[in-house]
Amino acid sequence: EMENSNKGQKTSDAAAPSAPDTDPADQRRPGDYAPPDRALVVGDGAFAMAMATAMSRRGSDVRVLAYTEKVRDEINSGENKTYMPGYRVDSNIKAYTSIEEASSPDIQLVLLVIPTQFLRAFLVKNISSLPTGCPIVVCAKGIELGTGETPFEMMIGELPGKYHKHFAVLAGPSFAKEIMDGQPTNVVVASERQDVAKLVQRYVSDGSTLRTYVSDDVHGIEIAGAVKNVLAIASGALAGLEFGNNARAALVCRGLAELTRLAVAMGSNGRSMAGLAGVGDLMLTCSSSLSRNYSVGQKLAEGKTLAEIQEGTKAVAEGVATAKSVRKLAAKLNVEMPICDAVYRVLYEGLNPREALSELQARPLGAESGLVAE
């Protein structure tokens, strides 16, 4: 299924049609499509393990490129105790710390599950080591500090042209723990080429618990995935201040307006903001303490400092760095994003979360105009 069509977006090699190229004679269920024989997952955190497990359950031989020898050895011993404790690692998942060992010409799918701020360094270091001729799907959700580039843009800028037609982005409401538990999860894959998006869709969808939609709105999917992490910090702060459902609902709606404005300014048509990467992921991360970003906001509102919060966790909350990137990008594009700006000021300028909320409520009155509200 095609979740969104961005007709105005320029594409490399081939433009995605406005409707899915569906063969009415093809009555296969999602899980009936052949999985990749071998997949490479770059990353060793919770979501990397969830995607490795999802592909393993599909029947793929999965290679995980771990960042440290410690986590590599944990994975190969049967449990990633550092990032995914309590879950057994499937027997057809093998971890490495060398990409030369993990990669091979028969890899049919690459999933890059690396925090945004570390992605470019990985690409530069391994520019000639990634497999060729297969989809390379980035699962990071953020905007790079300094450059203001998204993960897809970094891949375009750093990897040789032979890779470009195989790039895709995966996003949507997908807590790693729930994927590991086999709970129903829907995600979206965006690519400039529909054939690449559909191939990844068929690889990842299992017909029972994990379902994938396709989109051509790469810009929109990435901006939504980045900004929702910043908004989740705000939502966590509301919980820490013991505000209720009214406040959270307002935050989700007004936050959606902010991320839509930025996405449209970046080249999106805005329609995918109503989909899984927009409303879906925003609802998820703004309503659960399973979200690392939500937890950061909650602890800030409870009086902890950012340094104290970061010292107490191994996991990366992408929204902390992305708050800086979003602020800079919004200023560059002249996009008004008051909630995201307030999060930045709480994180980096010492603004009290309760005072930040009061300032937002006291802003001049305005009109609402749907997803692109002013």
Q: Which residues are catalytic?
A: 228
Separation CA 131–CA 155 (nearest Å):
14
* Contacts with 219 (C-beta within 8 Å, 6 or more apart), sequence order: 6, 9, 150, 263, 266, 267, 268
- The 10 Å Cβ neighbour count of residue 23 is 8
Q: Which residues lie across from 109 on neighbouring strands?
A: 39
Separation CA 236–CA 248 (nearest Å):
9
| Helices within 67-160 (DSSP H only) | 69-76, 99-102, 116-125, 151-158
Tokens, residue 51: 């995607």
Identify the H or E element spanning 46.
Answer: helix 46-57
Residue 29 CB-density burial (10 A; 0-12 exposed, 13-18 middle, 19+ buried): exposed
Separation CA 143–CA 321 (nearest Å):
8
Identify the H or E element spanning 2.
Answer: strand 2-4
Separation CA 175–CA 183 (nearest Å):
10
Closest to 118 (Cα-Cα) out of 71, 94, 154 = 154
Separation CA 220–CA 262 (nearest Å):
9
**Side chain identity, residue 40:** L
Separation CA 33–CA 49 (nearest Å):
22
Residue 50 CB-density burial (10 A; 0-12 exposed, 13-18 middle, 19+ buried): buried
